[in-house]
Amino acid sequence: MAIPQVKLHPEGPTVSQLIFGTWRLANSNGFEADSSLATPESVLERIEACLELGITTFDLADIYGGRRRWPVIGYAYEELFGKALALNPELRKKMQLITKTGIKIPNEMWSEKVYVNHYDTSYDYVRSQVERSLRLLGTDHLDVVLIHRLDYLLDADETAKVMTDLRNEGKVKYWGVSNHTYTQVELLQSRLDFPLVTNQIEFSPSCLTGMDDGTLDQCQRLRMSPMCWSPLGGGSLFKKDVSNDPKTERLQKALRKVANDFGNDTTLDQAAYSFLLRHPSKPVIVLGTNKIDRLKGAAAIYDKKMNLDRQQFYLIWEASKGHSVP
């Protein structure tokens, strides 16, 4: 069964329900580069495998590319992804590209001295970074751009202006946010004549914050599908030694039980993805694996018809919280 194509928002783009994430595009731990993953050919192989599976949407960010550790200090993966696409430019027509901007960290590419990690959602910065993304990815438009983090100095009028201008110029088809509180979504939305189409948040069996702080309620209210990042807790769900980590131990047990309900060959990651998809805000999932077999495993949840019932959902919820519902 094919991976569903879904609307992120009634007035938004159609994306694949499973999305390929690129934070680890050339590394598996989020930081240090792995030379076997760092070539355009290797990236192209993963892009082609995704498209074959029906994963047509790719999640990028201007800042991705290793962080804070020499020799790669951010901002490298859009270029790598763009070089992979340049090997087969026809593929661009078959995919949706989502990128993010708004985080600024020290890097030699800046013309001025940047000495502290900070957020920047000013008109000039957002415009120049979006234009950089277009250039590096070799495309004339981005399907969705997200404001990456909640900028404490957000001037909603100024940021809305650059978002509107870039949309009117056809460079960005749709806008969304990431890691925003529901009040910041409302603030930014109040200055826009078009809807924000998503809030990309951390949501996994080990991180249920969005269910408690109003973020997912807002997504449901606005019919804006959340994008779930680190859906497997960044891989922590597979920790081998859980003797000092009772939460992960509980989660592994609950996920194993739910997985077994769908057959003994069902894996923990399949149970975790199905848990997220059970939420009524209609999430889409940003996958973090670089392994083609694991991408295939994720796609297989649709063949297995893994629609969790309420008890299966709450078993995982209980394991995450460490207590039953009151």
Q: Rounded CA gap, 289 and 234, in Å? A: 9
Per CB under 6 A, 289 contacts ligand NAP: yes
**Sole window of 20-28, 108-116, 117-125, 159-167 interacting with ligand NAP (rule: CB under 6 A):** 20-28
Both tokens assigned to 77: 């993966």
Say which amino acid occupies 273: Y
Task: Tell me how far CA of residue 86 lies from CA of 23, 42, 240, in angstroms.
Answer: 20, 13, 40
Q: What are phi and psi of 110, to 5 degrees?
A: -75, 140
Question: Exactly one of 67, 102, 288, 301 binds ligand NAP (CB under 6 A); which one?
Answer: 288
**Sole window of 5-13, 121-129, 209-217, 228-236 interacting with ligand NAP (rule: CB under 6 A):** 228-236
Q: What are phi and psi of 285, to 5 degrees?
A: -115, 130
List the interface residues with ligand NAP, window 175-194 (CB under 6 A): 178-179
Question: Exactly one of 13, 21, 82, 102 binds ligand NAP (CB under 6 A); which one?
Answer: 21
The DSSP element (H or E) to which 103 belongs, if any, is strand 103-104
Please confirm, yes or no, whether 64 is among the known catalytic residues.
yes
The nearer residue to ligand NAP, 113 or 277, going by C-beta atoms, is 277
- Residue position matching structure tokens 């807790």: 233
Per CB under 6 A, 66 contacts ligand NAP: no
Per CB under 6 A, 200 contacts ligand NAP: yes
Check if the beta carbon of residue 322 is closer than 8 Å to that of residue 260: no
Per CB under 6 A, 57 contacts ligand NAP: no
Per CB under 6 A, 23 contacts ligand NAP: yes
Query: What's the closest the beta carbon of residue 268 comes to ligand NAP, in angstroms?
Result: 7
Cross-strand bridge partners of residue 103? 119
Question: Exactly one of 175, 203, 229, 273 binds ligand NAP (CB under 6 A); which one?
Answer: 229
Query: What's the closest the beta carbon of residue 288 comes to ligand NAP, in angstroms?
Result: 2
- Reported in sequence order, the residue ranges of 120-243 that DSSP labels E, i.e. its strands, are 142-147, 172-178, 199-202, 227-229
Max CA distance (Å), the chain: 57
Check if the beta carbon of residue 271 is closer than 8 Å to that of residue 259: yes
Query: 186, exposed or middle or buried, with CB in 10 Å at 0-12, 13-18, 19+?
Result: middle
Query: What's the closest the beta carbon of residue 319 comes to ligand NAP, in angstroms?
Result: 17
**Sole window of 156-164, 183-191, 215-223, 233-241 interacting with ligand NAP (rule: CB under 6 A):** 233-241
Of these residues, 64, 75, 77, 174, which one is catalytic?
64
Name the residues annotated as catalytic: 64
Which parts of this chain interact with ligand NAP (CB under 6 A)? Answer: 21-24, 28, 59, 178-179, 200, 229-235, 238, 269, 286-291, 294
